[in-house]
């Protein structure tokens, strides 16, 4: 796997695909600098080697229009502040103007190109557009994990024009290594904790992961399809009747593969899908009609804690309850606390994919787990066992 450390960028122009798709407020100020900070080590390495950095990214969904609200010019000052170097800006990402700006770029300087998605060809993965992009650097560096599952011009196709001169940035390399640790090289026992709303959206991940893990915790809304499939009463809980057969098949496969499956034994049931609903603790397979399970119960959390503390490698994807409502956040917080404890005891922990990342940030666990992934869809596709096109293009 070629990373930045395999190259010396002295007198070289690095064309770096970053993910600067950051949230802006009504005054077009950046409200969350995480993604810019995440790209900083890569940019600094290129500059410290004595090279220059040409940064390209998308922002929002301009769909081929030059929408001024989505200009990357708005973030230029913030990027300068974060990396500590004045950043130049050019009002297009291809063509004469961009090529001229790159030609004038000196070692130690940084140039930010205008929004890639002002051109429809970007998302189409257009080869001619990718070739134009390729004129803007000597070495191509992909550091955008969040878009690595898309075969867009700047994330994938452009790499075809940099044979022998392309590599992963530090951020993307870290993401790849974290996933490798869970899927292949991690110390045993390996545990995956899968929560979230529906079995249907996690099924490919579950099937792929059964070959990699020793223990699997299934929580959140998925629980009830598994419980009902085994003859339990789930009341009004979220349940996919058409996935019950699949749930039984997963349990059978797990048994054959020697994977221990852990499912809630008790839940916090509510008489409405609301934070002000009445609640009671009930056995997971005896939820009365009119009630629905919205969080894991105390016995469940005790069981899960024991499993988590016994694990050496932990993957967490998906909340354990409806954490967006304060009264049903306890399970997700407890799982987070147990993962933090396991991590401080030496386990490797990776949190990835959408809502669990939001939960980890909201409840302050971000700094206390080993790695929090920056990519939602890209993470989920990796866990499904797919090779992401952006990664494959560097390896080719
Ligand atoms: P996902 O995007 O599949 O990871 O699902 C995340 C969503 O699952 C969150 O919005 C949670 O509120 C929801 N969720 C977790 N547990 C439950 C539950 N017991 N009933 C309904 N929704 C749930």
- The residue nearest atom 1 of ligand 1, judged by CA position, is 196
Q: Which of 193, 194, 195, when mutated, tests ligand 1's pocket best, judged by the most ligand atoms within 8 Å of its CB?
A: 195
Q: Would you say residue 212 has pLDDT above 90? A: yes
- Closest protein CA for atom 12 of ligand 1: 322
Q: Is 219 in the pocket of ligand 1 (CB under 6 A)?
A: no
**CA 300 distance to own-chain centroid:** 27
Residue 199 tokens, joined? 């079995």
pLDDT mean over 242-265: 97
Whether the pLDDT of residue 241 is over 90: the answer is yes
* C-alpha dihedral sign at 131, 161, 37, 312: positive
Ligand 1 in reach of 354 Cβ (< 6 A)? yes
Q: Both tokens of residue 282?
A: 């009930």
270 lines ligand 1 (CB under 6 A): no
Is residue 355 pLDDT above 90, yes or no? Answer: no
pLDDT of residue 64: 95
Query: Would you state the pLDDT for residue 361?
Result: 87
| Ligand 1 lined by 107 (C-beta under 6 Å) | no
Q: How many angstroms separate the CA atoms of 13 and 165, rounded?
A: 11
Ligand 1 pocket, residue 221 CB under 6 Å:
yes
**Residue 359 and residue 329: Cα distance in Å, rounded?**
9
| pLDDT the model gives residue 353 | 78
Q: State percent of the chain over pLDDT 90.
A: 91
Average pLDDT over residues 216-224: 96
Distance CA(196)–CA(202), nearest Å, equals 8
Alpha-carbon distance of 85 to 254, in angstroms, equals: 53
Centroid of chain to Cα 179? 10
- Asked whether 235 lines ligand 1 (CB < 6 A), one says no
Encoded tokens for 133: 């992009």
pLDDT digits (tens, 9 = 90+) for 289-341: 999 999 999 999 999 999 999 999 999 999 999 999 999 999 999 999 999 99
- Average predicted confidence (pLDDT) for the chain: 96
What pLDDT is stored for residue 364 in this prediction? Answer: 92
Domains of the chain: 4-168 (3.40.50.1260), 177-383 (3.40.50.1260)
Catalytic center residues: 35, 198, 354, 377
Nearest atom within ligand 1 for CA of residue 202:
3
pLDDT for residue 281 is more than 80: yes
Question: What is the C-alpha separation between 70 and 384, in angstroms, rounded?
Answer: 32
Please give the distance, rounded to the nearest whole angstrom, from the Cα atom of residue 221 to the centre of ligand 1: 6
Label residue 356 by pLDDT band (50, 70, 90): confident
End-to-end CA, the chain: 10
In whole angstroms, what is the distance from residue 203 CA to residue 199 CA?
6
- Please compute the mean of the pLDDT values over residues 236-265 and round it to a whole number: 97
* Residue 374 pLDDT: 82
Among 297, 286, 291, residue whose Cα is nearest residue 274: 291
Give residues with Cβ within 8 angstroms of 104, minimum separation 6.
none
Helix/strand/coil percentages in the chain, nearest 5: 45, 20, 35
322 C-beta closer than 6 A to ligand 1: yes
Which residues are bridge partners to 262 per DSSP? 217
* pLDDT recorded at residue 358: 85
User: How many Å apart are CA 267 and CA 280, to the nearest integer?
Assistant: 8
| Dihedral over alpha carbons 176, 177, 178, 184 (to 10 degrees) | 100
- 195, 197, 264: residue to mutate for ligand 1 pocket, most atoms within 8 A of CB: 197
CB 214 within 8 A of CB 326: no
Q: Is 318 in the pocket of ligand 1 (CB under 6 A)?
A: yes
Out of 263, 281, 352, 355, give the residue to mutate to test ligand 1, the one with the largest number of ligand atoms within 8 Å of its CB.
Answer: 355
Q: How far apart are CA 330 and CA 361, in angstroms?
A: 15
pTM summary value:
0.90
Hunting for tokens 């796997």 — which residue is that?
Answer: 1
Distance 16 CA to ligand 1 centre (A): 36
Predicted local confidence at residue 132, as pLDDT? 98
Residues 120-175 have pLDDT tens digits of 999 999 999 999 999 999 999 999 999 999 999 999 999 999 999 999 999 999 99
Provide the pLDDT for residue 316: 95
Task: Evaluate if residue 354 carries a pLDDT over 80.
Answer: no
Bond before 201 cis per omega within 30 degrees: no
Between CA 125 and CA 14 the distance in angstroms is: 21
Q: 151 C-alpha vs ligand 1 centroid, how far in Å?
A: 29
Cα 341 to chain center, whole Å? Answer: 22
Beta carbons of 326 and 359 less than 8 angstroms apart: no
pLDDT of residue 109: 98
List C-alpha distances in Å: 206 to 6, 44, 57, 357, 385.
36, 39, 32, 19, 10
Q: What is the pLDDT of residues 170-210, one digit of tens each?
A: 999 999 999 999 999 999 999 999 998 988 889 999 999 99
For ligand 1, atom 21, the nearest C-alpha belongs to: 221
Q: With pLDDT > 70 as the criterion, what percentage of the chain qualifies?
A: 100
Rounded to 5 degrees, φ, ψ at 278 are -70, 145
Burial 311-336 (b: 16+ CB within 10 A, else e): bbbbbbbbbbbbbebebbbbbbbbbb
Asked if 195 contacts 222 with a C-beta cutoff of 8 angstroms, the reply is yes
Query: 199-209 and 376-383 are packed helices; what angle lies between their axes, rounded to 10 degrees?
Result: 50
């Amino acid at each position: 796997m070629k990373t930045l450390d395999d190259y010396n960028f002295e007198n070289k122009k690095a064309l770096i695909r970053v993910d600067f798709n950051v949230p802006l407020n009504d005054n077009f100020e950046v409200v969350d600098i995480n993604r810019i900070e995440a790209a900083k080590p890569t940019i600094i390495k290129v500059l410290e080697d004595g090279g220059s950095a040409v940064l390209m990214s998308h922002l929002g969904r301009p769909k081929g229009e030059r929408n001024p609200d989505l200009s990357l010019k708005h973030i230029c000052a913030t990027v300068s502040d974060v990396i500590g170097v004045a950043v130049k800006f050019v009002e297009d990402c291809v063509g004469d103007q961009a090529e001229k700006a790159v030609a004038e770029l000196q070692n130690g300087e940084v140039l930010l190109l205008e929004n890639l998605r002002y051109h429809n060809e970007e998302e189409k993965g257009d080869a001619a557009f990718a070739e134009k992009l390729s004129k803007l650097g000597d070495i191509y560096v992909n550091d955008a994990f969040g878009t690595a599952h898309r075969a867009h011009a700047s994330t994938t196709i452009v790499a075809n024009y940099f044979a022998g001169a392309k590599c992963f940035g530090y951020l993307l390399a870290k993401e790849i290594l974290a996933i490798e640790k869970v899927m292949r090289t991690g110390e045993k026992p390996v545990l995956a904790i899968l929560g979230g709303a529906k079995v249907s959206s996690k099924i490919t991940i579950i099937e792929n992961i059964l070959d990699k893990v020793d223990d699997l915790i299934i929580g959140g809304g998925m629980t009830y399809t598994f419980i009902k499939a085994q003859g339990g009463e789930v009341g009004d809980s979220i349940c996919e009747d058409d996935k019950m057969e699949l749930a039984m098949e997963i349990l059978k496969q797990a048994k054959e593969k020697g994977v221990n499956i852990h499912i809630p034994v008790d839940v916090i049931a509510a008489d409405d899908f609301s934070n002000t609903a009445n609640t009671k603790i009930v056995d997971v397979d005896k939820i009365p009609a009119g009630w629905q399970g919205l969080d894991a119960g105390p016995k469940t959390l005790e069981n899960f804690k024991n499993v988590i503390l016994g694990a050496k490698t932990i993957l967490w994807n998906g909340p354990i309850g409806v954490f967006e409502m304060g009264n049903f956040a306890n399970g997700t917080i407890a799982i987070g606390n147990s993962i933090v404890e396991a991590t401080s005891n030496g386990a490797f922990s990776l949190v990835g994919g959408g809502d669990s990342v939001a939960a980890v940030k909201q409840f302050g666990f971000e700094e206390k787990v080993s790695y929090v992934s920056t990519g939602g869809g890209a993470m989920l596709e990796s866990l499904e066992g797919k090779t992401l096109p952006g990664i494959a293009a560097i390896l080719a």
